Amino acid sequence: MVIVKATYREIRQYLKDSWSMGWPMILMMFFQFAIGITDVYVAGYLGTRVMAAVGYVGQLYFTLLIMANGITVGTVSMVSQAYGAHSDEGVGNIASQSLLIGIVLSSVLTAFAQIFPGTIIRAAGMPAEIREIAEAFLRIFSLVLIPVYVMIITGGVLRSSGRVRVAVINSCIAASVNVVGDVVLAFGWGPIPALGYQGIAWASAFATTVGMVLNLSYMFSGSYRIRLAPLMPPMSRCMRNLIKLGLPSALQQIAWNAGTLVVYFLVGGLQHGEITALAAMTAGLRIEALIFLPIFAFNMASAVLTGNRIGARDVDGARSGAIVTAALSLSITLLPSLAVFVLAPWISTLLTDDSAVIAEMSRYLRINMIGMPFFAVGVALSGALQGAGDTLATMRIIFTGMWGVRIPLILFVTYVLGAHAAGVWWCLTTSLILMCGLLVLRFRGDYWTTASIDTQSNKLLWEACLGRARTSGARQNPVDKGAP
């Protein structure tokens, strides 16, 4: 495959587009990071059991949101393509169908979590001493699953239909409410009583509801507003296409999360220094999270921009633009990755004073930083594949890398070769590089450029969401509508 060449002027435009879409995404990722840090910080003041419960329930709650994230991936792919084709009707209809699916799924999950919270907590394997706290968290969190699903899906619609700055502002407001609410509701302030650990959950619930209302206020106005007419009756082909694109992404996240839990289990089963290794890995992930922010931000940016260009039938632009976005992600990642590699021992001392954990965490960070440049490129290109609708192939690659390479490789080096924690860290990096290599190979081919085309009708999948066999009048103003 010969990579499409672009002129200098085109490359500059691709860079401008990637950065314009990428930096707001970085801010959004930072807001989520700030919420997580505040939750842990406040929980730490309320006791070790509360902190443990927050961590456990956080992982469980993320599992409940997997379907929302999967729906959003399919929605972003189809909405971005409809937006690239300047179809108001397509954007509005896809948004309404996505929300319908999300509301139905979240309603079922809400009912299940409210009826069987204790069963869910026990099935998650939570220690008995934190189950009461965890159950209280789950009851409150599950009450707002519908607003959470709506907020996630509408956020995807906004950023993939030219309203990314609106999505960022709304996310900032919701995150600020969450952070302030954590402190005020947990510890009390003036006439507001201290709710203790339940204050953390109610703060998230209130902030999510605020974010949902803000997003919806923009979804029902403007050229790309939600169309309610298609909801009665549901447009089955449109829904099938959304599920076709979204389900593989949900399964991909399930496979990744389950694999990560297995890795934790295997690290905990090391014959020597397992507690030290677990502590080093947990702390190391907190440092890596800062580097992940721009990487996943450009993953989302690449999905939107690639979808826009595929929708405009600009395959060459989709390919060249994705390459430029991946290069930008790589360039932004290199310096912090190098800094962490060099300063790993010093950084480790900021999180622990245990000399054994410091040494192991330094090894963990340095080995993982070797794979970070590959990760930056692979994740950016995976966003392009998803934006083009090639979600099934992306799922296969991630599943293969995790369950076909990472887990078996760790089992081999630990149980056959008798390697210690460093062997596991090398397995993580090796499998990561392989996954990214497979993503690059997939991108170098041509199959992904036609993944969103219905072979029977020879139309893009999003066009099934049009009320009539047409596209709406072309609009030559793909700008950030509603942005200040």
For 22-61, how does the pLDDT look when each residue is reduced to its tens digit (9 = 90+)? 898 888 888 888 887 788 778 777 876 777 677 667 767 7
Q: Half-sphere exposure (CA, 13 Å, Cβ side) for 156?
A: 31
Q: Tell me what pLDDT residue 273 has.
A: 62
Q: Which pair of tokens denotes residue 374?
A: 């590959």
Structural domain of 16: 8-465
Cα separation of 302 and 383, whole Å?
Answer: 5
Burial class (CB in 10 A: 0-12, 13-18, 19+), 386: buried
Q: How confident is the model at residue 474 (pLDDT cuts 50, 70, 90)?
A: very low
Tens of pLDDT, residues 191-200: 888 888 888 8
Q: Tell me what pLDDT residue 2 has.
A: 42
User: What average pLDDT does the segment 87-93 reach?
Assistant: 90
140 within a domain of the structure (yes/no): yes
* String of DSSP letters for 213-246: HHHHHHHTSSTTPPPSGGGSS--HHHHHHHHHHH
Residues paired with residue 460 on neighbouring β-strands, in sequence order: 453
User: What average pLDDT does the segment 302-321 reach?
Assistant: 93
- On average, the pLDDT of the chain sits at 85
58 within a domain of the structure (yes/no): yes
Q: Tell me what pLDDT residue 484 has.
A: 34
Q: Tell me what pLDDT residue 375 has.
A: 95
Total of domains in the chain:
1
Q: Tell me what pLDDT residue 127 has.
A: 67
C-alpha dist (Å) from residue 381 to 274, 348, 391, 400: 35, 31, 12, 17
307 within a domain of the structure (yes/no): yes
- For residue 186, pLDDT beyond 80: yes
476 within a domain of the structure (yes/no): no
Q: Tell me what pLDDT residue 225 has.
A: 80
Kindly state the helix (H) or strand (E) to which residue 29 belongs, with its residue range. Answer: helix 8-46
As a whole number of Å, the end-to-end CA separation of the chain is: 43
Q: Tell me what pLDDT residue 103 has.
A: 92
> Residue length, the chain?
484
Q: Tell me what pLDDT residue 229 has.
A: 59
Per DSSP bridges, beta strands 459-460 and 453-454 are antiparallel
C-alpha dist (Å) from residue 376 to 292, 296, 345: 8, 8, 23
What pTM was computed for the model?
0.85
C-alpha dist (Å) from residue 16 to 19, 82, 215, 305, 462: 5, 22, 26, 11, 27
Q: Tell me what pLDDT residue 481 has.
A: 38
Q: Tell me what pLDDT residue 99 has.
A: 92
User: What average pLDDT does the segment 288-302 reach?
Assistant: 90
Q: Which pair of tokens denotes residue 479?
A: 């700008």
| Nearest CA-CA partner of 181 in 161, 156, 209, 222 | 209
Q: Tell me what pLDDT residue 124 has.
A: 67
More confident residue, 124 or 308: 308
Q: List all residues 6 or more positions away from 169 whose beta carbon is below 8 Å from its beta carbon.
A: 484
Q: Half-sphere exposure (CA, 13 Å, Cβ side) for 132?
A: 2
Residues paired with residue 166 on neighbouring β-strands, in sequence order: none
Tens of pLDDT, residues 119-175: 888 876 666 777 888 888 888 888 889 999 999 999 999 999 989 999 999 999 999
Residues paired with residue 454 on neighbouring β-strands, in sequence order: 459
Cα separation of 322 and 332, whole Å?
Answer: 15
Q: How confident is the model at residue 321 (pLDDT cuts 50, 70, 90)?
A: very high
